[in-house]
Structure 1
């Protein structure tokens, strides 16, 4: 082997060991710090998907702004949509710093979204057919998001951890907003109660899918393994799903709702929830933009992006 190549490999190994030691010591990695390629790529994938999901996740609720049942509800859901868009822009800015070595920016991320290379969460491909669906997103989808995101509040990458502290604080209000909608419907007419049950039936499988498969891959190192290895998060997909069950199943049942899974129960011996697995092949198709509302929402985002190109051009000219 060439001596210079050997020296380079040894130097990179020493840098990696020093990097891992920093993470284990609780240090925060910043955008300008040296980081292994595997770490940078994992962060770009995670944060860009999170950011795009925040933006695309505002669209199902945006559909209910003109149809909200009262002015109070209209103002509440408008504020939530505004918050989600702000979260997305904040996260894309964090991802943008990580993209600099590749000569890319958030514009490239948007093109990746339109090309189908950048995925967004499966739940935001779903249709919102009733006001109960809008409430279900706030109550259970945002509840699932809080469980996922609070797991990364201590993330080793400083800019992401700091962004998450702000985002999680606001997501708590979003979950309370959704819960208030569901509680109001639960205390209403039989028709309204049935609306909640039908919404839960429609969203349950998507909620299970939200956390991802228990194992991302059958061979090699999975994405969740990499994020745990580098201290970006601490829990696996399945551990997060179990936390969701523990927190929300009692709340769902307390409203007199029936969870659409006759196999669901808590195993006292294993100390975990046993449940019917969702259709993971269906999950793969959904995140490939073949969900019920995938193309409609992508087209809406594409048109909005193109129509507002003049704003980006004007800002770029002012900076230059």
Structure 2
């Protein structure tokens, strides 16, 4: 059976040239493509890979914070982080529904996506392979990881694929609250005791490489793979990986410094001539290992999903018996 993850990108092979040219004209005119519209295979497969990775990352991203629900320092903090976890799971379900519509021509559904995740075929975001060792990490995920996500996702708020664009409208609004939740934790620690400030600085030091990796490599040469050119060509996104990373640094470096925090990079500075931040590149070889599920918490996080998938198989079976068409 044809598998979308094995499709060769970057070609119009076997596409009707008239249909393709009309499609590209719609893209250039700013039209929104809908699920039942004709679209080239490259466009469909790019969307499937992008949106499924986004959706799965929302679900996997809830796990690091879920670990801190029972350990949050107050009832108010427990309720806040529980609400955030619930939101992230909802985002994941919404995005997987969007992906499912795109996969219908291939005879695939959400069950196949979960199987791809557990088999390692479907990747999730590098940041969610990392451990959350302290309460400061829970704040760091909300403040800087979700902050990076907002920059990435708002870059696609006018995406050419209508269902994804509309889903992002809702998701981005909720992510703003998540970032404010994380900032609240960070501010409390920054204004706390010396030990709390040390915990906060240690958290930033540990998360910094992952935050730089968040937006992906600047070019395909760095890791041997980059899909940014295709997503820009089809007006799914507007900016390159490096442009997004620079936007993140523009927004957050002044805030980091205003709290008296530092980043573990002595080369970090803003170059007035080049009008950009100069920074030390993260280890992209490590990035490749992480997204191959060889990160510090990759196996543990996947095991949680595997157990949940197995324990809830009866729900899928009950729906199938009742005539439901969504596993």
Normalised to the residue count of structure 1, the TM-score between the two structures is 0.95
Residue of structure 1 equivalent to 2:232: 228
Evaluate the alpha carbon distance shift between residue 220 and residue 283 of structure 1 in structure 2; reply closer, same or farther with a 3 A threshold: closer
Residue of structure 1 equivalent to 2:4: none
1:280 paired to 2:293:
no
Evaluate the alpha carbon distance shift between residue 256 and residue 218 of structure 1 in structure 2; reply closer, same or farther with a 3 A threshold: closer
Aligned residues: 313
Tell me how large the CA RMSD over aligned residues is: 1.6
- Describe the SS at the equivalent of 1:266: strand
1:103 paired to 2:110:
no
Residue of structure 1 equivalent to 2:98: 94
- Describe the SS at the equivalent of 1:319: coil
* Distance in 2 (alpha carbons) for counterparts of 1:66 and 1:216: 42
Aligned-pair distance for 1:312? Answer: 1.9
Aligned-pair distance for 1:219? Answer: 11
- Consecutive unaligned residues in structure 1, runs of 5 or more: 1-8
The structure 2 residue matched to 1:122, chosen from 113, 126, 129, is 126
- Describe the SS at the equivalent of 1:127: coil
Residue of structure 2 equivalent to 1:22: 26
Residue of structure 2 equivalent to 1:260: 264
The structure 2 residue matched to 1:196, chosen from 197, 200, 212, is 200
Evaluate the alpha carbon distance shift between residue 49 and residue 10 of structure 1 in structure 2; reply closer, same or farther with a 3 A threshold: closer
Residue of structure 2 equivalent to 1:208: 212
* Distance in 2 (alpha carbons) for counterparts of 1:167 and 1:23: 23
The structure 2 residue matched to 1:187, chosen from 191, 201, 211, is 191
Runs of 4 or more, structure 1, over 6 Å off, are 218-221
Aligned-pair distance for 1:192? Answer: 0.3
1:249 paired to 2:253:
yes
Residue of structure 2 equivalent to 1:319: 323
Query: Which digits, 9 at most, give the CA deviation of each residue in 1:151-175, with x for residues without a partner?
Result: 0000000000000000000000000
Residue of structure 1 equivalent to 2:74: 70
Evaluate the alpha carbon distance shift between residue 35 and residue 131 of structure 1 in structure 2; reply closer, same or farther with a 3 A threshold: same
- Consecutive unaligned residues in structure 2, runs of 5 or more: 1-12
Query: Which digits, 9 at most, give the CA deviation of each residue in 1:190-241, with x for residues without a partner?
Result: 0000110000000000000010000134799941000000000000000000
Normalised to the residue count of structure 2, the TM-score between the two structures is 0.93
Aligned-pair distance for 1:259? Answer: 1.2
* Distance in 2 (alpha carbons) for counterparts of 1:136 and 1:161: 27
Query: Which digits, 9 at most, give the CA deviation of each residue in 1:45-87, with x for residues without a partner?
Result: 0000000000000000000000000000000000000000000
Residue of structure 2 equivalent to 1:290: 294
* Distance in 2 (alpha carbons) for counterparts of 1:221 and 1:126: 22
